[in-house]
């Protein structure tokens, strides 16, 4: 048997916070991802180049 209860509070503030948190996380992830791609793609460090070489070529990212 389930009981459904209502507190009468609006979920508007909760969903705004959730949307804000999601947007912040998406922006942070995008910046982090772009930074990693930039670092691996344009690094002159041979170890970084070799570690990311096959991945770059499989995603058509030029490295030569």
For the chain, give every domain's residue range.
14-58
- pLDDT beneath 50: ranges in the chain: none
Output the pLDDT for position 35.
87
In angstroms, the Cα distances linking 6 to 11, 12, 15 are: 12, 15, 17
What is the b/e burial string over 2-34, where b = at least 16 CB atoms within 10 angstroms of the residue's CB?
eeeeeeeeeeeeeeeeeeeeeeeeeeeeeeeee
Output the pLDDT for position 4.
64
Place of tokens 């991802």: 33
pTM of the model as a whole: 0.51
């Amino acid at each position: 048997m389930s009981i459904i209860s209502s507190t009468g509070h609006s979920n508007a503030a909760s969903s705004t916070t959730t949307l804000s948190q999601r947007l912040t996380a998406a922006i942070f992830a995008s910046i982090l991802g772009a930074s990693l791609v930039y670092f691996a793609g344009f690094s002159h460090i041979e170890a970084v180049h070799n570690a990311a070489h096959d991945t770059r070529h499989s995603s058509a990212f030029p490295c030569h």
